[in-house]
Structure 1
Amino acid sequence: MSSPSHTEASRTARSLAAALIGDPFYRAVTVACGDDETARLAMLEAYFALALTEGEQAGRVDLADDGGNGAAIWTTDTPAALRQAAYAQREDALRALLGERGFAHFSAIVGNMEHALAPHALQDAWYLSIAGIAPDAQGRGLGTSVLAPGLAAVDAAGAACFLETYNERSLPFYGRLGFAVAGRYAEAVTGCDYWLMVRPPHAA
């Protein structure tokens, strides 16, 4: 696991913003930007900078390479109190960053997803919360390589892990890494479907 420098973190946040700007979740939470895609990109860069910090504090961050071309951010088996403190800190910053409507969308979507997740008994599973590779660096195997260290750590811990994706085209990619679709859900705020994918414990 790498701890990004400030410059590296900024580049990584920009790469994640470029990779995920079209995702329905991120469009919904940046509603304050309207049709201004430059403003949206800047808001998402700040959003991902906060997510990287939270991941460093209470989870796991793996960088795609030394060029800041992307990252994977995990919620792990860090003690719950530490996770909650880091999340609360980011939540305060997000409220200011996203504005009233954007933060309301964020809270509602997270609530909807947590409700859908409840029957799956994944309280002790690791969560791949964010993964992205800069568009101009895609197609070089960075997506697989950035996930490999986290998946190895999951396996060493004997844990299950899961993710949620709005991108149906990503399902085969995650399937090759051992994830299987556990549900498809309609999400009311975005008006889009997303998929829950679960990877059972693997032998390390």
Structure 2
Amino acid sequence: MGVAIRRAGEGDREAVTRLLDDAFQNDPVSSWVFPDADDRRRTHHLLMGAFLGIVLEEGYVDVTEDGSACALWLPTPAEAHEDDDEDGPAQLREAVDPGNERIEQIARLTAGIHPAGTAHEYLWMIGVAPERQGEGLGTALIQHVLDRCDREQLPAYLEASSARSRPLYERLGFTFMGSTLDLPDGPPMWPMWRDPAPRF
């Protein structure tokens, strides 16, 4: 596709947080976490910044060279580490918006459905600037990692946060795992899995 992609670092934190904030302002799940639009405009960037911080520490972030799209990935081992922090969701809520229980709730719910037993790449989030959506930037970012997954025979996993995004992931080889994660009084999320392309 001719999309230049690079690995983001600490120096990209502010720009990537802003990009994620813009990209997910009207996302169904973000709108559920922050149902009040004014509150979402004030606070949503703090959640995006917290997510980015986790991924910069434990995974990696790919960005397009022009900064218009990014993908947050977490390499996930076959078995959970014994020192995994059970209090992580509560700490996330405390750091972002202590009065908003849905921040903790979404973290616990997604962790509860995450597949275990097989090492895989977890696409936590992919964000594209609203004015650049539909240009194939997201596809290029994801395919960049899926090509490596195929070479290394690694599966990949994600939760689609909108019905509109699900067909994109299906075109890239992801399949719906059969049961949605239905947020309480909120929208569904679609857990999706991709096995690596077979070697010939």
The TM-score bracket by the shorter chain reads 0.7 to 0.9
CA distance in 2, matches of 1:136, 1:91: 34
State the partner residue of 2:60. 60
Once the two structures are TM-superposed, the CA of residue 126 in structure 1 deviates from its matched residue by: 1.9
Once the two structures are TM-superposed, the CA of residue 26 in structure 1 deviates from its matched residue by: 1.8
Once the two structures are TM-superposed, the CA of residue 134 in structure 1 deviates from its matched residue by: 0.8
- Specify which structure has the higher proportion of helix: 1
Once the two structures are TM-superposed, the CA of residue 201 in structure 1 deviates from its matched residue by: 2.2
State the partner residue of 2:159. 164
CA distance in 1, matches of 2:60, 2:134: 24
Q: In the alignment, is residue 23 of structure 1 matched against residue 27 of structure 2? A: yes
Deviations 1:77-133 (A, max 9, x none): 479659947x94x96354231222x2x21222333334444xx54552221111110
State the partner residue of 1:99. 98
Question: Number of matched residues?
Answer: 192
RMSD: 2.9
CA distance in 1, matches of 2:20, 2:156: 21
State the partner residue of 1:124. 119
State the partner residue of 1:10. 14
Map residues 144-155 of structure 1 onto 2, 5 A cutoff. 144-155=139-150
TM-score with structure 2 length normalisation? 0.79
Once the two structures are TM-superposed, the CA of residue 181 in structure 1 deviates from its matched residue by: 1.2
Match of 1:140 among 132, 135, 139: 135
Once the two structures are TM-superposed, the CA of residue 156 in structure 1 deviates from its matched residue by: 3.3
Once the two structures are TM-superposed, the CA of residue 57 in structure 1 deviates from its matched residue by: 1.5
* Amino acid in structure 1 at the alignment position of 2:167: P
CA contact (8 A) 1:18 1:41 kept: no
CA contact (8 A) 1:59 1:83 kept: no
CA contact (8 A) 1:2 1:62 kept: yes
TM-score with structure 1 length normalisation? 0.78
CA distance in 2, matches of 1:83, 1:152: 31
CA contact (8 A) 2:69 2:128 kept: yes
CA distance in 1, matches of 2:82, 2:65: 28
Deviations 1:57-78 (A, max 9, x none): 1112111x23322211111047
* Amino acid in structure 2 at the alignment position of 1:108: Q
Q: Which runs of 5+ in 2 are unaligned?
A: 1-5
Instruction: Name the % identity.
Output: 25
Once the two structures are TM-superposed, the CA of residue 164 in structure 1 deviates from its matched residue by: 0.8
CA contact (8 A) 2:90 2:104 kept: no
